[in-house]
Amino acid sequence: MRKVLGVDRPGHVFVITGPSGVGKGTLIRGLMERMPEIELSVSATTRSPRPGERDGVDYHFLDADEFAERRARGEFVEHVDYAGSSYGTLRSELEGRASAGAPVVLEIEVQGARQVRRALPDATQIFIAPPSLEELARRLRERGTDDPEGVERRLAVAREELEARDEFAHVILNDQLERALQQLESIVLGELESSARGQAQGEGELRKP
């Protein structure tokens, strides 16, 4: 059987991407309430924890030296510099969670999604789009987690990220939350069903004499 990330029967990987503030985290929380079997990959970052964020739960908070050392050791599936900090997906996160066969969700920005496309071409990539740049700015400001400079840095990156939406097979417009959540759930269920069918066929072929 073909191995992915050193795992025989990996769980399906879903990449949820799109600009900061578009609602990725909100949608993923909603999805996980509906589908508790889904596992969320905990990213590493050098940015400071926001109030209430917990190390190992929201992020693995690393200092710049540790991030650089682990990057040099090849521990990341993908990593980027974003808005003045480093972010990355640790191989150990994916291997640990996918080896149990669970569907794994990565919540990452667009450059990282491109890297994952090369590293894991079977992963399902979903781009979340805002109704408009103005609404994105409003959500970022109202979220209240970033100072005005941080909001501006995120908006500057967002302008480029929005141009990438055509690269993605699945695009969800996060206008009405409930409708966007239903679309996300239906994409995830559809992909899980077709990957289960693919695995069953693969097993059938292996059993042929």
Determine if 23 is a binding residue for ligand 5GP (CB under 6 A).
no
d(CA 3, CA 78): 19
Determine if 99 is a binding residue for ligand ADP (CB under 6 A).
no
Q: Which is nearer to ligand ADP, 10 or 23 (CB)?
A: 23
Q: For strand 44-45 and strand 85-90, is the pairing parallel, antiparallel, or unpaired?
A: antiparallel
By a kind-dependent CB cut-off of 5 to 8 A, residue 39 interacts, out of ligand 5GP, ligand ADP, none, with: none
Q: How many residues does the chain have?
A: 209
Q: Which is nearer to ligand ADP, 71 or 143 (CB)?
A: 143
Burial of 73: CB neighbours in 10 Å, binned 0-12, 13-18, 19+: exposed
d(CA 184, CA 163): 21
Beta bridge partners of 59: 55
Instruction: Tell which positions 37-56 bind ligand 5GP, by CB under 6 A.
Output: 43, 47
Q: DSSP string covering 126-163, please? A: EEEE-S-HHHHHHHHHHH--S-HHHHHHHHHHHHHHHT
Among 40, 108, 136, 192, which residue sits at the site for ligand 5GP (rule: CB under 6 A)? 108
Determine if 25 is a binding residue for ligand ADP (CB under 6 A).
yes
By a kind-dependent CB cut-off of 5 to 8 A, residue 13 interacts, out of ligand ADP, ligand 5GP, none, with: none
User: Under the phi-then-psi rule, with left for phi > 0, alpha for psi from -120 to 50, and beta for the rest, what region is 145?
Assistant: alpha
Among 11, 21, 103, 112, which residue sits at the site for ligand ADP (rule: CB under 6 A)? 21
What φ, ψ does residue 131 adopt, rounded to 5°?
Answer: -60, -35
Piece of the chain touching ligand 5GP by CB under 6 A; list 66-74, 83-91, 117-125, 176-184:
83-91
Instruction: Tell me how far, at minimum, the Cβ of 173 lies from ligand 5GP, in Å.
Output: 17
Among 5, 26, 146, 165, which residue sits at the site for ligand ADP (rule: CB under 6 A)? 26
**Which residues of this protein are in contact with ligand ADP, per CB under 6 A?**
20-26, 139, 142-143, 174, 177, 180
